Structure 1
Amino acid sequence: MSKGKDSTTNRSVMYISSVIIVLFVIFGMFLPKEMGKVANDTFAFLTTDFGWLYLLSVAFFVVFIFGIAFSRFGNIKLGKDDDKPEFSNFQWFSMLFGGGMGIGLVFWSVAEPMMHYLTPPMGKGATPESMRTAMRIVFFHWGIHPWVIFAIAGLALAYFQFRKDLPFLISSAFYPLLGDRIYGPIGKAIDILAVFATVFGVATSLGLGSSQIATGMQYIWGIQATPTTISIVIAVMTVLFTLATISGLHKAMQFAANIKVWLSIGFMVFIFLFGGMVLILNNFTDTLGAYLQNFVQQTLWMGNIDWLKGWTVFYWAWWIAWAPFVGQFVARVSKGRTIRQFILAVTLLPSGFSMIWLSIYGGAAFNLDKLANGAIQAAVKTEYTTAFFALLKQLPLYSITAPLAILLIIASFIGAANSATYVLAMLTSNGDMDPGKNLRSFWGIIQGAFTIILILVGGGTAVLSILQTVSIVAAFPFMLIMIAMCFSIYKALAQEKPLG
């Protein structure tokens, strides 16, 4: 295979993608209503006519990735045959667990179960049955399916980089189909679409995170959470993570990561102990059984199209948009592992962690809501972004835990944005695993500006809608790329002689 042709001189991906995204930002600044209309029209078209394709595609990804894991290809190394893992099992598992903790999990951990409980996709709301349905749906959205999507992107990046010495780019996964054309216009187009998917997916997370910070400050201290306030939060966060990126403050970023991990663990233990341990454990056991029993049916269920547009299709698009980003992370830490080890660890460990997290938060929310005569569901009905804080208000030490919750969201925000900045810089520098500081700072500023534009376009009452819209629109072409990627991966593996 050819190795890194034009790897240092060709910056077309950076120039083309950055120009288009900057133009998009300018368009949103000066013509926000027009941009909103175009985005919403595209959203309506894709979800109405192609919602089924998102569901079928992810179902195909599930069958494909586990088929590869348990086939004769499972023993192939992600690296040379004599490569050893770079990290111990404990370190590797810890990093995969860490990859499962992000803004989205903090944002939706209370809000989503309560929203499905009140307005389920089938049956009557606010009943014991709708509570069980709500938790099963949450497991479905945050369980194995998203990590299957990430595993495909990660498998492609790790296999073609570590075993075939190709650039650390999405386009490299298409070498078996395209050959040296991955270095030409077709390959560049694939990488540009990966950049778009990453920018839109991260913007969705940053928008949700900043909204939660702003509404949290309103809930705790009475500071009004207007679109302007949310934009200021994003701007401040952008300055922080961009300065950290260009200053090389690795200790500061590691400190933020440590805060996120320890606060996440602390909140889980605290809520588990004081939120109703027995109910949480019962809830986890019952929901896990229902999730496994309904796995196939839920994967392909289209019984409520309008509900699917706002939830499952949005989530699948969001995860697809995050695939280049999270795929890069899981690939980087998995060199030397076999394909079977990689797939099983990446799909099962973080999803298992997410289910435990959601059981604790969701179970405690239902328990405490009942004890507080509907206080949490009332908060969700008023402003769903305050759900986490409404839960904490029902627990001891609220004056301490509420500001710590803001700190957790900020740490998750900064960690995700910093990592995404690094990945975008890498994607636009031909897979350079140590991209320049100027490029990193550029993408940091672009991410912040892009997210602010989306918030301002969406307005105070439609932030979720605009974020759902851009995720689904951006992920659609990349979803098609991922389907083709699966066939390319299979073609390359079919030419291998498995170890063992």
Structure 2
Amino acid sequence: MKNVKQSPNRTVLYVSAAISLVFVLLSMLFTTKMNEVFGKVFSFLTNGFGWLYLLSVAIFIIVAAWIAISPYGKIILGKDDDKPEFSNFQWFSMLFGGGMGIGLVFWSVAEPIMHYSSPPFGDSATPEAMRIAMQTTFFHWGIHPWVIFAIGGLALAYFQFRKNLPFLISSAFYPLIGDKIYGPVGKTIDILAVFATIFGVATSLGLGSSQIANGLEYIWGIKSTPLTISLIIAVMTVIFTLATVSGLHKAMQAAANLKIWLSIAFMVFIFTFGGMVSILNNITGSIGDYLQNIVGQTFWMGNISWLNGWTIFYWAWWIAWAPFVGQFVARVSKGRSIREFIFAVSLLPSGFSLIWLGIYGGAAFNLDALSGGAIQAATNNNYTTALFAMLEQLPFYAITAPLSIILIVACFIGAANSATYVLAMLTSGGNMNPSKQLKGGWGIAQGAITIVLILVGGTSAVQALQTASIAAAFPFMLIMLVMCYSIIKALKQDVEESKKILETQKK
């Protein structure tokens, strides 16, 4: 593989921006029609290709595991003599931080309770339903999503740090198409990566803003409507865009630190007052159930309608986030071996997620039983309020409720700020220091697209968000499948080249 310098090209930016603008305008002008289109797209993709989402993620896991344990795992993400830029502790801390986001806050209480009330199989509201609920929640937030991110991150890190190719998804296809990564084929791949990122992140921002709005209504009675949610998104967009453009890095770092410390504080608080023994029993049993059933659950197709709304949506959401999170884990992993990278990225953040979900889910079930089903009733009425319903059963609610809103806001700002950077990078030829104007433009675009999805969806906003992720992820899922083959081919060539060099040196 030869190194080629990329020439400046704005095609990805112009095409992505134009299509984004058209999407926003069509959604604003033909709201009802777009809502119908969303419904048809959701039905077509989930009913016709749900099996492919499940099979693809299984393939990603097999490929990642095989690469990690094979001799290829020794290859360094960088030159052979490159050393890690961060200590193990710093690296682990950043991976843990990357595992904390809006989705985890949104679903930590809601998902276990919803599965308990409406399990994928069996009777609801039984001890068995509780066990299945936690096992399923662990499955959705455990190893599977982080393996997807590891594949995306591996492609970016390997071809950037070892082969000096642009920090773009298209670079991963150099072993297959060569210099065509700089032409229409490569640009198409990068454009699809942009759209996967846009709608994957928009889903998270939409869920986060919905939780903020419904939290405000639950706590203080401020009515939550699509307009209220849109206003929250608009205000938040102005804040993080101005911070990005004005270069307020310290403010953004402060928001990131606040997110981490608040997350830890909430975990400790809920563990302490939510029933320690019950939580520990729940975590222990759920981990056992999760690991025991992971293979069967990976391929399970027993309840198609349930899968469409849950597992298939999640897998699509994670695939849509692959360029986004992959970029983050790649940037902090230069100098690591592929084996280190895959195992750390797949296991450390997922381990954090399981502890988080075990604490929140265990406390939710314990407190729900003590309160006579109050949390279940609130969740069934409006699942965006599940977190606040649980906190209401704990001490210091007057303090923890506002703090939970602050945590969600911090997660919102962190995700949006990072997304603007990634989108700017993807649309500037892989420039790892994109301009403030480009980041600001994508910040505004992210806010606008999220608002449009909320307004188009109306009372079914979450389904609109789910449809956006599933649709955007579909072509990128196919790209990732081909990318797996391309990575393996590149690694094989890498090993062969190393052997030739050694043989030449011996002679």
Q: How does the TM-score come out when normalised to structure 2?
A: 0.97
Q: 2:479 maps to which residue?
A: 481
Q: 1:267 and 1:468 mapped to 2: Cα distance?
A: 28
Contact 1:143–1:355 (Cα < 8 Å) also in 2: yes
Q: 1:28 maps to which residue?
A: 27
- Matching of residue 409 in structure 1 with residue 436 in structure 2: no
Q: 2:221 maps to which residue?
A: 222
- Matching of residue 97 in structure 1 with residue 131 in structure 2: no
Q: 1:241 and 1:30 mapped to 2: Cα distance?
A: 27
Contact 1:61–1:148 (Cα < 8 Å) also in 2: yes
| Equivalent position amino acid for 2:111 in 1 | E
Task: Output one character per residue of 1:469-497: Cα deviation in whole Å (capped at 9) or x when no partner.
Answer: 11101100000000000000000000123
Q: CA deviation at 1:160?
A: 0.1
Q: CA deviation at 1:464?
A: 1.1
Q: 2:285 and 2:207 mapped to 1: Cα distance?
A: 30
Q: 1:98 and 1:373 mapped to 2: Cα distance?
A: 35
- Matching of residue 74 in structure 1 with residue 73 in structure 2: yes
Counterparts of residues 266-281 of structure 1 (less than 5 Å): 266-281=265-280
Q: 1:124 maps to which residue?
A: 123
Counterparts of residues 357-368 of structure 1 (less than 5 Å): 357-368=356-367
Q: 1:470 maps to which residue?
A: 468
- CA 1:454–1:168 in 2, change beyond 3 Å: closer, same or farther? same
Q: CA deviation at 1:4?
A: 5.2
Q: CA deviation at 1:42?
A: 1.4
Partner-residue secondary structure (3-state), 2:252: helix
Q: 1:27 and 1:347 mapped to 2: Cα distance?
A: 39
Q: 2:292 maps to which residue?
A: 293
Q: 2:85 and 2:4 mapped to 1: Cα distance?
A: 23
- Matching of residue 250 in structure 1 with residue 254 in structure 2: no
Contact 2:421–2:434 (Cα < 8 Å) also in 1: yes
Contact 2:5–2:165 (Cα < 8 Å) also in 1: no
Partner-residue secondary structure (3-state), 2:81: coil
Counterparts of residues 408-427 of structure 1 (less than 5 Å): 408-427=407-426
| Equivalent position amino acid for 2:27 in 1 | G
Q: 1:251 and 1:29 mapped to 2: Cα distance?
A: 36
Q: CA deviation at 1:38?
A: 1.5
Q: Which runs of 5+ in 2 are unaligned?
A: 503-507
Q: How does the TM-score come out when normalised to structure 1?
A: 0.99
Q: 1:29 and 1:441 mapped to 2: Cα distance?
A: 22
| Equivalent position amino acid for 1:477 in 2 | P
Q: 1:312 and 1:78 mapped to 2: Cα distance?
A: 32
Q: 1:145 maps to which residue?
A: 144
Higher mean Cα deviation, 38-47 or 344-353? 38-47
Q: 1:388 maps to which residue?
A: 387
Q: CA deviation at 1:116?
A: 0.1
Q: 1:83 maps to which residue?
A: 82
Q: 2:251 and 2:183 mapped to 1: Cα distance?
A: 39
Counterparts of residues 34-53 of structure 1 (less than 5 Å): 34-53=33-52
Task: Output one character per residue of 1:385-405: Cα deviation in whole Å (capped at 9) or x when no partner.
Answer: 000000100000000000000
Q: 1:200 and 1:322 mapped to 2: Cα distance?
A: 9
| Equivalent position amino acid for 2:334 in 1 | K
Q: 2:115 and 2:4 mapped to 1: Cα distance?
A: 48
Partner-residue secondary structure (3-state), 1:49: helix
Q: CA deviation at 1:253?
A: 0.2
Q: 2:441 maps to which residue?
A: 442
Q: 2:428 maps to which residue?
A: 429
Q: Which runs of 5+ in 1 are unaligned?
A: none
Q: 1:4 and 1:222 mapped to 2: Cα distance?
A: 59
| Equivalent position amino acid for 2:169 in 1 | I
Partner-residue secondary structure (3-state), 2:494: coil
| Equivalent position amino acid for 1:378 in 2 | A
| Equivalent position amino acid for 1:102 in 2 | G
Partner-residue secondary structure (3-state), 1:495: helix
Q: 2:505 maps to which residue?
A: none
- Give the count of matched residue pairs: 498
Partner-residue secondary structure (3-state), 1:122: coil
| Equivalent position amino acid for 1:468 in 2 | Q
Contact 1:2–1:166 (Cα < 8 Å) also in 2: no
Q: 1:239 and 1:477 mapped to 2: Cα distance?
A: 31
Q: 1:496 and 1:5 mapped to 2: Cα distance?
A: 20
Q: CA deviation at 1:2?
A: 4.9
- Matching of residue 453 in structure 1 with residue 452 in structure 2: yes
| Equivalent position amino acid for 2:460 in 1 | A
Partner-residue secondary structure (3-state), 2:429: coil
Q: 1:202 maps to which residue?
A: 201
Task: Output one character per residue of 1:175-231: Cα deviation in whole Å (capped at 9) or x when no partner.
Answer: 000100000000000000000000000000000000000000000000000000000
Q: CA deviation at 1:6?
A: 3.8
| Equivalent position amino acid for 2:180 in 1 | R
Counterparts of residues 329-408 of structure 1 (less than 5 Å): 329-408=328-407
Q: 1:108 maps to which residue?
A: 107
Q: 2:186 maps to which residue?
A: 187
Q: 1:432 and 1:36 mapped to 2: Cα distance?
A: 36
Q: 2:10 and 2:33 mapped to 1: Cα distance?
A: 31
Contact 1:2–1:180 (Cα < 8 Å) also in 2: no
Runs of 4+ in 1 over 2 A off after TM superposition: 1-7, 497-500
Q: 2:491 maps to which residue?
A: 493
Q: 2:425 and 2:122 mapped to 1: Cα distance?
A: 47
Q: 1:449 and 1:4 mapped to 2: Cα distance?
A: 37
Q: 1:343 and 1:375 mapped to 2: Cα distance?
A: 42
Q: 1:432 and 1:173 mapped to 2: Cα distance?
A: 16
Q: 2:377 and 2:240 mapped to 1: Cα distance?
A: 35
- CA 1:123–1:305 in 2, change beyond 3 Å: closer, same or farther? same
Contact 1:5–1:183 (Cα < 8 Å) also in 2: no
Contact 2:142–2:351 (Cα < 8 Å) also in 1: yes
Q: 2:41 and 2:217 mapped to 1: Cα distance?
A: 33
Q: 2:142 and 2:239 mapped to 1: Cα distance?
A: 32
| Equivalent position amino acid for 2:291 in 1 | L
| Equivalent position amino acid for 2:479 in 1 | I
Q: 1:482 and 1:320 mapped to 2: Cα distance?
A: 9
| Equivalent position amino acid for 1:427 in 2 | L
Partner-residue secondary structure (3-state), 1:294: helix
Q: CA deviation at 1:5?
A: 3.8
